[in-house]
Amino acid sequence: MAKDIYVGLLGFGTVGTGVVRVLQENAEDIAQKAGARIHIKKVLVRDITKKREYLEKVELTNRPEDIMDDPEISIVIELLGGLHPSRELMLQAMEKGKQVVTANKDVVAQFGHDLFDMAEKHNVAFRFEASVGGGIPIITPLKECLTGNRISDIMGIVNGTTNYMLTKMAEDGSDYNAVLKEAQRLGYAEANPAADVEGMDAARKAAILASIAFNTRIQLDQVSVEGITNIEPADINYANQLGYVIKLLAVAKDYGDRGVNVRVHPVFLPSSHPLASVKDVFNAIFLRGNAIGDAMFYGRGAGSLPTASAVVADVISEARDIVNDQSSPIGCTCYNKRPFCPLEDTESSYYVRLHVKDEPGVLGAIATAFGDSNVSLKSVIQTRMVGTNAEIVAVTHVVKHSHLQKAADILSSLAVVDKIRSVIRVEAE
Amino acid sequence: MAKDIYVGLLGFGTVGTGVVRVLQENAEDIAQKAGARIHIKKVLVRDITKKREYLEKVELTNRPEDIMDDPEISIVIELLGGLHPSRELMLQAMEKGKQVVTANKDVVAQFGHDLFDMAEKHNVAFRFEASVGGGIPIITPLKECLTGNRISDIMGIVNGTTNYMLTKMAEDGSDYNAVLKEAQRLGYAEANPAADVEGMDAARKAAILASIAFNTRIQLDQVSVEGITNIEPADINYANQLGYVIKLLAVAKDYGDRGVNVRVHPVFLPSSHPLASVKDVFNAIFLRGNAIGDAMFYGRGAGSLPTASAVVADVISEARDIVNDQSSPIGCTCYNKRPFCPLEDTESSYYVRLHVKDEPGVLGAIATAFGDSNVSLKSVIQTRMVGTNAEIVAVTHVVKHSHLQKAADILSSLAVVDKIRSVIRVEAE
């Protein structure tokens, strides 16, 4: 083992601790695989006086330049999170000729382009396997193992918090607020859970996945986002009765000449679908390619050690390149400029739940509203009374989203309709 | 796109056709990803006069040297199958400085060592993603994405034929012979199904997976193998009643100082386990690492296009290296010499089904036989009459395999025991 490789670590939170632990505990094997000993030389932290586990022999600093200007450091791991100064520090590290690894989905989704440009300019590698799906290998498989395919569909459970909540709602019959509290108690949801439950976390990962899968840059603001805050126990029950489970999915689809669409929303998924059995905080990315057919990658989407697994793998890949005096053969893969297909032009089957007046002719009025909007129905059932209202559940055939929206507008305007309680896409049938 | 890369293809069966199709149909994207146009220049076939689809513009030859001696050909894809002359032709290609890709599990399991040595000697790449799990990315993820982990467990459904048969037995209640006929009719099983149903196909894949996961060379003849030929509908029914499914698994486990054990056998798997919902001809590899925790890779383990997906990805990786004038940074990863833990020293919980005389004291005699062998029981149930015999099902706690064997020997010798019908491991509890 001739070589030693020195790493600068920006940030020492949950994932940072995991990275240092993995590099220490598996040091012998990692040295064999990388062809070099990998040392964390310096760690950027706010408070350099605080004692920290696993960092006894490591230099702490609160000045980024101590890392940037250290010529011995050839790899920088960014684990600060957030957009700034993460972006700037990664760009600086690249300018200084250092390889970069990050787990930061925010930065990759928002500033991936800048980072790839800079990496290319300075002939350094930029890796971010941990930014989607935590420990699950998905970025590298897309960039290296599925390259013979044109990918047409991605459906990912990429947010563990919401998958845990939906699993508990389905298993225990609890309502949204109760499972949110439980998730917070267990540390699966943050005090401010907005980024998870409103779908923005999943949207960032969707943008990253879609950009790589379709080889075209997807901007975060193109992704339409709907979270799980409106899911009620009634929806979970109907899903179950009808042979579905409800999952929050990151969906990316290729609509051919119409372009690609990327979105995050809850879906009804057939209970026989491989994603349906992905429970609790586990993540999985399901995809379809024109050679491989259907495939799925499953594992832990968050947590100290699983995320560290992905970060350390990226570090080892970069170390191998350094040892072999080579540069990473794969940079930015967005060589296409695909149009973005607006949500209105996508199609799907839909589940619609309504509260209506309990009087003669209501079913007919509702069926007419759907029919006038070119939405054909697979089934309409009047199921139970909720107070003085009757609850009606309709499942449509595959229809254009814009037609479904028109139907919803008409339905909302009907005097007999109290409220549309839920509209949820049915996927993968 | 400056460069053209020329490929020689050895063999043009199901997978070969898929490879040529994928390279043609996805040519534009592949050229972008590889940084070069990839051309199949020559194909080795037996009968060069036969017209073949997709090969209108390709030179057919029945002389391997036409490919080996062609300096323009930089990548050789071996799809002949079998041990010889596949091994010799791959070695020759490497000696001529050509990169090699194969889908041939037989050769990799048996002669991987020779091939890696030769590849290293001539500084060429040797890739074989398609040899395990068909299209499912698993070799590259193990070699590049899970490198931060020490892998402790692999459990793989790596044979589609047997998984299809077990799925049908469970869903339709058919017996082994009926589903085998059906599988043959559908082309999922060969006329001579021995390699699949007796587990040798899975054993080859187990040896390859374990060698990579544990970084130590596992010889095919070290792998203990048991197929599905003895599985009866009664076993499927009991599995179902007890909350399990029966799957044929390739199992590789690290027993620490005792070494690693690699084996293929049917198992009782909890129906909530991610592998339990892998149905029909689908494959999946489940693994556990000390950083990533549990992960699973799922997809089509065979077939023309799925297997071609893996082969073409390997070709693209090698093309990238050629374009960048680099050599593959990852060769043989068997840097360890781990002892092999004999099957007898492994432990597990077991399901045992017996036919016994229907008379007083039988249950006691059986319980004593287990007890005398240090096998403690979780449950023993007498379930039904089969002719004049009573059927008894026992599930043990986790016990040493050698102790279970001793119990089986004692049981077989008892006058009250007509026959031990099944002994199946219970995994992943």
**ipTM for the predicted complex:** 0.97
- The verdict on a CB contact (< 8 Å) between B295 and A296 is no
- The active-site residue out of A41, A205, A253, A406 is A205
Structure confidence by residue, pLDDT tens digits, A179-191? 999 999 999 999 9
Helix, strand and coil percent figures for chain A, each rounded to 5: 40, 30, 30
Active centre residues of B (catalytic) = 205
Q: Which two tokens stand for residue B45?
A: 């076939």
Predicted local confidence at residue B172, as pLDDT? 94
Predicted local confidence at residue B1, as pLDDT? 52
Q: Does the beta carbon of A292 lie under 8 angstroms from any beta carbon of chain B? A: yes
Q: Nearest C-alpha of chain B: how many angstroms from A311?
A: 8
- The verdict on a CB contact (< 8 Å) between A330 and B309 is no
Residues of B in contact with A324 (CB under 8 A): 326-327, 329
Residues within 8 A of B (CB atoms), A 332-391 only: 333, 335-336
Interface mutation target, options B101, B145, B318, chain A, most CBs of A under 10 Å: B145
Question: Nearest chain A Cα to B38, which residue?
Answer: A148
Residues with Cβ within 8 Å of residue A46, at least 6 apart in sequence: A62
Q: Which two tokens stand for residue B240?
A: 């179902």
Q: Nearest C-alpha of chain A: how many angstroms from B382?
A: 33
Residue A30 has its nearest CB partner, among B148, B311, B336, at: B148
Residues of B in contact with A323 (CB under 8 A): 329
Residue B46 neighbours by CB distance under 10 Å: 9
Q: Nearest C-alpha of chain A: how many angstroms from B107?
A: 21
Residue A140 has its nearest CB partner, among B135, B145, B306, at: B145
Q: Look up residue A355 and give its amino acid.
A: H
Residues within 8 A of B (CB atoms), A 75-134 only: 129
CA proximity to B145, closest of A143, A163, A110, A403: A143
Residues within 8 A of B (CB atoms), A 14-43 only: 18, 22-23, 25-26, 29-30, 32-34
Its pTM stands at: 0.97
Q: What span, in angstroms and rounded, lies between the C-alpha atoms of A207 and A337? A: 15
Residue A148 has its nearest CB partner, among B26, B289, B298, at: B26
Q: What span, in angstroms and rounded, lies between the C-alpha atoms of A28 and A112? A: 33
Question: Nearest chain A Cα to B139, which residue?
Answer: A145
- Per DSSP (E only), the strands in B129-194 are 151-157
Does the pLDDT at position A329 exceed 90?
no
Residue A298 has its nearest CB partner, among B141, B274, B291, at: B274
- The verdict on a CB contact (< 8 Å) between B291 and A326 is no
* CB distance B427 to B155 below 8 Å: yes
- Calculate ∠ Cα A389-A395-A400, nearest 5°: 120
B142 DSSP 8-state letter:
I
Residues with Cβ within 8 Å of residue B227, at least 6 apart in sequence: B162, B196, B197, B198, B199, B248, B264, B266
* CB distance B317 to A145 below 8 Å: no
Predicted local confidence at residue A330, as pLDDT? 84
Q: Nearest C-alpha of chain A: how many angstroms from B423?
A: 29
Q: What span, in angstroms and rounded, lies between the C-alpha atoms of B338 and A211? A: 42
Residues of B in contact with A316 (CB under 8 A): 147-148
Q: What span, in angstroms and rounded, lies between the C-alpha atoms of B193 and B189? A: 6
Quick one: average pLDDT of B206-233?
A: 97
Determine phi and psi for A129, rounding to 5 degrees.
-50, -40
- The verdict on a CB contact (< 8 Å) between A313 and B146 is yes
Identify the helix (H) or strand (E) that includes residue A160.
helix A160-172
Q: Is A233 exposed, middle or buried (0-12, 13-18, 19+ CB in 10 A)?
A: middle
Predicted local confidence at residue A262, as pLDDT? 98
Residue A309 has its nearest CB partner, among B215, B292, B330, at: B292
Q: Which two tokens stand for residue A124?
A: 């350094």
Q: What span, in angstroms and rounded, lies between the C-alpha atoms of B117 and B95? A: 11
- Per DSSP (E only), the strands in A176-315 are 224-225, 244-254, 260-270, 282-289, 293-300
Question: Nearest chain B Cα to A303, which residue?
Answer: B292
Q: Which two tokens stand for residue B222?
A: 């070290």
Helix, strand and coil percent figures for chain B, each rounded to 5: 40, 30, 30
Q: Look up residue B328 and give its amino acid.
A: S
Largest Cα span, chain A: 85
Residues within 8 A of A (CB atoms), B 159-218 only: 215
- The verdict on a CB contact (< 8 Å) between A309 and B298 is no
- The verdict on a CB contact (< 8 Å) between A305 and B291 is yes
Structure confidence by residue, pLDDT tens digits, B64-113? 999 999 999 999 999 999 999 999 999 999 999 999 999 999 999 999 99
CA distances (Å), origin B177, targets B169, B182, B193, B200: 10, 9, 11, 19
Residue B148 has its nearest CB partner, among A26, A141, A290, at: A26
Interface mutation target, options B1, B149, B272, chain A, most CBs of A under 10 Å: B149
Predicted local confidence at residue B56, as pLDDT? 87
* CB distance A5 to A41 below 8 Å: no
* CB distance A212 to A112 below 8 Å: no
Predicted local confidence at residue B280, as pLDDT? 96
Q: Nearest C-alpha of chain A: how many angstroms from B185?
A: 22
Q: Is B26 exposed, middle or buried (0-12, 13-18, 19+ CB in 10 A)?
A: buried
- pLDDT band of residue B170 (cuts 50, 70, 90) is very high
Residues of B in contact with A326 (CB under 8 A): 324, 326-327, 329
- What are the structural domains of chain B? 3-135+304-323 (3.40.50.720), 139-300 (3.30.360.10), 344-426 (3.30.70.260)
Q: Nearest C-alpha of chain A: how many angstroms from B290?
A: 8
- The verdict on a CB contact (< 8 Å) between A215 and B32 is yes
Determine phi and psi for B387, rounding to 5 degrees.
65, -130
Q: What is the mean pLDDT of chain A?
A: 96
Q: Which two tokens stand for residue B355?
A: 């036919």
Structure confidence by residue, pLDDT tens digits, A193-214? 999 999 999 999 999 999 999 9
Q: What is the mean pLDDT of chain B?
A: 96
- The verdict on a CB contact (< 8 Å) between A145 and B141 is yes
Question: Nearest chain B Cα to A305, which residue?
Answer: B291
Q: What span, in angstroms and rounded, lies between the C-alpha atoms of A242 and A364? A: 22
- pLDDT band of residue B2 (cuts 50, 70, 90) is low
Q: Does the beta carbon of A294 lie under 8 angstroms from any beta carbon of chain B? A: yes
Q: What span, in angstroms and rounded, lies between the C-alpha atoms of B295 and B297? A: 7
Structure confidence by residue, pLDDT tens digits, B243-282? 999 999 999 999 999 999 999 999 999 999 999 999 999 9
Structure confidence by residue, pLDDT tens digits, A228-254? 999 999 999 999 999 999 999 999 999
CA B184 to mean position of chain CA atoms: 20
Predicted local confidence at residue B177, as pLDDT? 97
Q: Nearest C-alpha of chain A: how many angstroms from B318?
A: 10
Residue A296 has its nearest CB partner, among B22, B150, B298, at: B298
Residue B59 neighbours by CB distance under 10 Å: 14
What is the layout of strands, in order, in the sheet containing B126-127?
A: B59-61, B36-44, B3-10, B73-78, B99-102, B126-127
Predicted local confidence at residue B338, as pLDDT? 97
- The verdict on a CB contact (< 8 Å) between A292 and B305 is yes
Q: Which two tokens stand for residue B229?
A: 């030929």
Question: Nearest chain B Cα to A27, which residue?
Answer: B148
Residues of A in contact with B145 (CB under 8 A): 129, 137, 140-141, 310, 313
Q: Nearest C-alpha of chain B: how many angstroms from A145?
A: 5
Residues within 8 A of B (CB atoms), A 224-263 only: none
- pLDDT band of residue A428 (cuts 50, 70, 90) is confident
